Structure 1
């Protein structure tokens, strides 16, 4: 594997034009993922930035990082990887279908880290091709050891007609919500400010319509973070939060949050869903398991 060591965070202002130009190229030949890992040492957390992120996502202000926060630290490296000429798919048009984060121990604000990002596990999907972008956070003094935090984002590249028949979506009765959240129309712009993810589908109804949405949509990782914030005070020190994204949250919105306890093979945890509060349609489904 080729390792590219970075001395600073890649410039998102430079990467977004690359992503737009990448959308004009046509894939050639059989797709293969690059055998490249991006590594950045000396990563620290800006307390003001962490506080802004916590406010946007609904977390309390503490010196422990929410498990979803390091994703925004890794995001520029992910962008850099997926906008390189040898990456087989244009970044624009990829669908973020799932995200799994494992926090191996609490991560503190005053720590220094090394970030690693790579792509792997290219595989077929009934609507095209999917792959994983793996991000890892390691203590700075143990950069060759085990990560304290791991993030696996699964992306789908749609291509042609679906293979086989997709199961028909069943309309369910609305679940009894644990909470109903009012999601403001500007949450996409507010999350973009703290995450750096300025995909136009999140920023304004006009730019979202250019991509087929009738209004701006919330970031999937904001929705996941908002769900995680609802569990504060009940989480173990080490856990995995695994989410599959379904229908987008069209802004502004009323979102119904439902959760229940689980005990899968003796591993107690929670399951949760985020629904459209006006219709029985799910935005995401997830689980939290200890360890």
Structure 2
């Protein structure tokens, strides 16, 4: 069932396949002049876009995939999935939305600004889950327009066990009066430095399905304006959550804002501070102190 309404019943269904080059082409073609005006490639106008949703058939949190993800992101092996893992089940839906002709913004060049995850309980390895994602109309931003992708993960009884909001920016003519995003308390680095290898983006892509060229090789990243490949934003969030996970409750909200890209290979320094209901945290450059990621956790 297809629709551009943002209501819960208005969604398309997708069965995630092999991804790879076909998906990358669908993501890239709308960014190429002339080609982006062809039928089947041309994007809809933001003015007429009211929303779009996708769902997938029930999916199982398979142990082999959970453990591969946990290893890349620094989580221990457990009988419950890492807090950030359900994003792996939702990512194919985000890509399906972004590569749908009805969605106004090309996937390539759209920047992940913020992510907020709310876990209502721990999810067991082997659980069968229903996953839906939807996005609403464009919202004004000082640097362009943003789109908020909302994801729900339900158990076999229909209860929401995990949800998230991912905010993506499409740069362009902005609105100086629009909100620029979430604000988090400053955090002092605590001396924990992680050295990140050059192949980190490729390793994370292998488990996440996010093969955006900016994360893979120096040549592919330079073609899109970066000096070298950069780490995935959701990897950086997962790595911080992994460092905190034994101190977080099962029911928790974790919000982050992505700042400066992490160039690979490279190093980042962790900072954490306790708050009334959780932690404030940051990843920053050990040399300059410039933030790569800032955020906070809140017990529910």
Query: Could you tell me the TM-score, scaled by structure 2's length?
Result: 0.87
1:283 to 282, 288, 292: 292
> What is the match of residue 122 of structure 1?
138
* Structure 1 CA distance for aligned equivalents of residues 82 and 217 of structure 2: 27
1:68 to 80, 84, 93: 84
SS at match of 1:48: helix
* Structure 2 CA distance for aligned equivalents of residues 183 and 30 of structure 1: 38
> Does residue 152 in structure 1 map to residue 165 in structure 2?
yes
* Structure 2 CA distance for aligned equivalents of residues 248 and 161 of structure 1: 22
Query: Structure 2 vs 1, CA of residues 123 and 180 (structure 1 numbering), >3 Å: closer, same or farther?
Result: same
Structure 1 residue ranges without an equivalent (≥5): 168-172
Query: Structure 2 vs 1, CA of residues 121 and 104 (structure 1 numbering), >3 Å: closer, same or farther?
Result: farther
2:116 to 100, 104, 107: 100
* Structure 2 CA distance for aligned equivalents of residues 210 and 161 of structure 1: 25
* Structure 1 CA distance for aligned equivalents of residues 200 and 280 of structure 2: 25
1:9 to 8, 16, 29: 16
* Structure 2 CA distance for aligned equivalents of residues 28 and 116 of structure 1: 22
* Matched pairs, number: 278
> Does residue 222 in structure 1 map to residue 235 in structure 2?
yes
Structure 1 stretches of at least 4 aligned residues deviating more than 4 Å after TM superposition: 26-30
Query: Structure 2 vs 1, CA of residues 32 and 55 (structure 1 numbering), >3 Å: closer, same or farther?
Result: farther
> What is the match of residue 47 of structure 2?
31
> What is the match of residue 189 of structure 1?
202
Query: Structure 2 vs 1, CA of residues 161 and 30 (structure 1 numbering), >3 Å: closer, same or farther?
Result: closer
For residues 174-213 of structure 1, what are the structure 2 equivalents within 5 Å? 175-213=188-226
> What is the match of residue 74 of structure 2?
58
* Structure 1 CA distance for aligned equivalents of residues 160 and 265 of structure 2: 37
Per-residue deviation at 1:205? 0.8
* Structure 1 CA distance for aligned equivalents of residues 163 and 94 of structure 2: 13
* Structure 1 CA distance for aligned equivalents of residues 51 and 175 of structure 2: 28
* Structure 2 CA distance for aligned equivalents of residues 243 and 186 of structure 1: 24
1:244 to 242, 257, 278: 257
Question: Higher strand proportion, which one?
Answer: 1
Query: Structure 2 vs 1, CA of residues 262 and 283 (structure 1 numbering), >3 Å: closer, same or farther?
Result: same
Per-residue deviation at 1:46? 2.0
CA contact (8 A) 2:128 2:155 kept: yes
SS at match of 2:157: helix
> What is the match of residue 111 of structure 1?
127
* Structure 2 CA distance for aligned equivalents of residues 29 and 22 of structure 1: 13
